[in-house]
Amino acid sequence: MKDFSGKTAIVTGGGTGMGRELVRQLVAEGCNVALCDVSASAMAETVALCQTTGLPQGLRLTTHIADVSDEAQVLRFRDEMAAQHGVDHIHLLFNNAGIGGGGSMIADSRAAWERTFNICWGGVYLNTRAFLPMMLKAPEGHIINTSSINGFWGSIGPHTPHTAYAAAKFAVKGFTEALIADLRVNAPHIKCSVVMPGHIGTSIAANSRRIHLGTDSDAMSAPEIAAVRARLKAQGMNATAMTDEAIAAFVAERARRFQEDAPMTAAAAATVILDAVKAGQWRILVGDDAHKIDARVRATPEAAYDIDFFTDFAREVGWLLGR
């Protein structure tokens, strides 16, 4: 699909981060877009940003509240989108929505683990199921599923459990690769790609906290403070001596650093993704760090979870080593 002008795209998680930037760049190219998110205010900001540069005449840009882990909400999103855009088909499906959290099978709750897994993997599955019939009616289509480098390397550091997110992203990668043969046999006019970003500057840390807690407040509760203190102690930090205020400041600073000190912006990542879709690539690594860790894991898979493997890689690509 060399040209997005006049096409219709679905973008999940379009309120922030890479989803927002995908929407902005698709709209700029004349693509009709329906985006979903759990935050109406975040989607409104995305639309406002699109409007500042001017919407092409006749372009449709609609927003829809939907939790991608809930099939009823996904189906409502699909039906609303079809009615508001006045179409029975779509050309592009960006399964982008995701959150972190629930990293440990032991220290974290089952609810937190499954919430993360069900959004990161379930959202891809449910939206593909929901929108595939509309894509079958289009002359050409492309499904773009966001996995992660954690879809082939399940680590964000040797002292930080990451099981829910990594399991989901491995599932997304495997599903997309298997879908290649399914589409070739049953719907050859539809392509699919798996996106594997490295460290991209987004607000996923803050957004994940809000989604897990169901709040827009940045103030941390006493149970949250206690949970963070326990995690820091497990990682070898002297968290007992830290005040509650210091714990909250530590969490806020970590989220800030993740977004502002990342080696690649969300806008740059979106450009890489869209260029790769136009080029027909099915495997889309995003960022120099993604390319480098892919090569390292392939070269020495048995060492991939050793402490030295992580620290050497982090130093090579400039990741911050602070826990």
Residue, of 218 and 17, whose pLDDT is higher? 17
pLDDT at 255: 74
Tens digits of residue pLDDT in 36-77 = 999 999 999 999 999 998 899 999 999 999 999 999 999 999
Q: Please compute the mean of the pLDDT values over residues 310-323 and round it to a whole number.
A: 81
Tens digits of residue pLDDT in 126-151 = 999 999 999 999 999 999 999 999 99
pLDDT at 254: 75
Secondary structure element (H or E) that encloses residue 319, with its range: none
pLDDT at 223: 77
pLDDT at 243: 87
| Distance of alpha carbon 68 from alpha carbon 37, whole angstroms | 8
Residue of 153, 165, 170, 258 marked active site: 165
Neighbours of 43 (CB within 10 A): 23
Whether 165 is a known active-site residue: answer yes
Q: State the pLDDT confidence band at 322, using cuts at 50, 70 and 90.
A: very low
pLDDT at 323: 37
Q: Please compute the mean of the pLDDT values over residues 6-12 and round it to a whole number.
A: 98
Neighbours of 295 (CB within 10 A): 11
Please indicate, yes or no, whether the overall pTM of this predicted structure exceeds 0.85: yes
> What percent of the chain has pLDDT above 90?
75
Neighbours of 267 (CB within 10 A): 16
Order of strands, edge to edge, in the sheet holding 61-65? 61-65, 32-37, 8-12, 92-95, 141-146, 190-197, 283-286
